Structure 1
Amino acid sequence: MVNVNDTDALIIVDVQNDFCSGGSLPVPDAELIIDPINRLQRFFDYLYFSRDWHPNDHCSFRDNPHFDEGCWPSHCVQNSPGAEFHGDMRIPVDATIIDKATTAEKDAYSAFDGTDLSTRLERRKTKRVFVVGLALDFCVKATALDALQNGFKAFVIRNATRAVFPENEAAVYAELQAAGVELIDSEDLS
C-alpha cells in the first residue's frame, strides 16, 4: 500500500481527444483509463494536466515539409477539438494545465520539457509524483523519467495508462523500473 500525502502530485498526461477513439493518433483502449484517473483524483490535493499544444506547423507532423523529423500525423493543434481534453475527464477548476511542445521547432514528450512544472512542484514542497495518462511508451515514460531527473520520486499507475504500441508495454515497464520508477496500480493507493 502507498499512502498518499498532502504534498504528493498526480500528473495526468495528455488525455486529449486526438489520442482517443476517433482522434488523429488514437491510443488503443485509451478510454479505459479515464474512469480510473477520475477516481484517483480524490487522493491528491495537487493535480497537473499536461497537454500537447502544437501549432499547426509543428515539427513532429509528418506532413510538415519544413521539418525532416516529423513522424506523427497532425494532432493536438492549439485550440482545435482534437487538442481538448476528453469530455469524460474530470478537470477540477483548481487543476493546473501544463502546455507542452507549443512552438513549431521543438517537440516535447515530457510534461517537464520546456515547462515550469518542476518549479511548480518544488514550490508546493512535492517530493513524489504519480504519473498517468497517454501514452505510456512516449509521454508518460518521458514524464516519469524526467521526474526522477528533477529529483522527485516517481510512480506510474499501470491501470491508468495505455501505450501507442501495446506490444512494447513490458519493455517500457522494465525500462522504467530499471531507472527507479515504481510501478503500482490504483488499488495500491490509500
Structure 2
Amino acid sequence: MLILPHPTDALLVIDLQNDFCPGGALAVADGDAIVPLVNALGRRFDHVVLTQDWHPLRHISYATTHPNKRPYETIEVAYGTQTLWPEHCLQGSSGAAFHPALDLPHAELILRKGFRRDIDSYSAFVEDDHATATGLAGYLRERNLTRLFLCGLAYDFCVRYSAIDGKALGFETIVIEDACRPVNLPESVDATNAAFTTASVPRIRSTDLLTS
C-alpha cells in the first residue's frame, strides 16, 4: 500500500534524543537504529515537527526526586500513576540534545515538553494531568495540518500517548511502526497495540511511504 503525503500532512518525530539512544541515561534498545529511516521519511514530508523532552532538576518523573524509590517503580501523584525513570533529558544537557545523525533541517517546529517540574508529559499534545495543553494542536490547526504520521521514541510511551491524544483532538494519526522503538516494560507493547486498536489509530510500515 503506497501512501502519498499531502500538503496537509506532517511528520511528527518524537523525542529522538541522545538520552533515549544507546549510551544514554534512559536508553531504548536500538533507538539509534531508526535515525536513517526517520531522515528518509522526513524527506517525503513538507512539514516536520520535532518534540523534545526537556526536564528541570528534580522533575517529578525522576526516581531520585523521591526518597527510597528506584527507577521503573510507580507512585501515585495528583494526576494518577507515575512511572519513575532514571534522570534523563535534563534541560540544556547533551542527553537532551537530538541525536547527532538526525538530519531534518526543514523541521518547522521544535516542541519542548515535560518542562513543568510537577507534571510529566509523555504526549506531544497534553501533559499527563490530561488538562495542560502543550499548544501543538493549536499550531497544527492554524497551519491547516490535519493528518499526522508519528515516529520516534519510545513506541510504548511518548509515541503511544501522542498518537492517541492527537486522534482524540480530531487529527488523523498514523504510527509508522518500524520507525519507532519501545522501552518494552512488561506488557507495555501489548498494551500500546491494544490502545491503538481501540482508538482506531492505524500502524503502517515505512515502506508504505517510501516505496514509489
Q: TM-score range by the shorter chain?
A: over 0.9
Number of matched pairs? 190
The equivalences for 1:7-156 within 5 A come to 7-65=8-66, 69=82, 71-113=84-126, 114-156=133-175
Question: Which blocks of at least 5 consecutive residues in structure 1 are unaligned?
Answer: none
8 Å contact kept, 2:14–2:159 = yes
Question: Which blocks of at least 5 consecutive residues in structure 2 are unaligned?
Answer: 70-74, 76-81, 127-132
CA–CA distance in structure 1, aligned partners of residues 202 and 112 of structure 2: 25
Q: In structure 1, the residue corresponding to 2:4 is in which secondary structure?
A: coil
AA matched with 1:182: P
- 1:103 positional shift: 1.2
Q: In structure 2, the residue corresponding to 1:161 is in which secondary structure?
A: strand
CA–CA distance in structure 2, aligned partners of residues 176 and 27 of structure 1: 21
CA–CA distance in structure 2, aligned partners of residues 12 and 138 of structure 1: 14
Q: In structure 2, the residue corresponding to 1:43 is in which secondary structure?
A: coil
- 1:121 positional shift: 0.6
TM-score (norm 2): 0.84
Q: CA RMSD in A?
A: 1.8
8 Å contact kept, 1:62–1:74 = yes
Bigger mean CA offset, 69-78 vs 17-26: 69-78
TM-score (norm 1): 0.94
8 Å contact kept, 1:136–1:161 = yes
CA–CA distance in structure 1, aligned partners of residues 90 and 178 of structure 2: 27
Identity %: 41
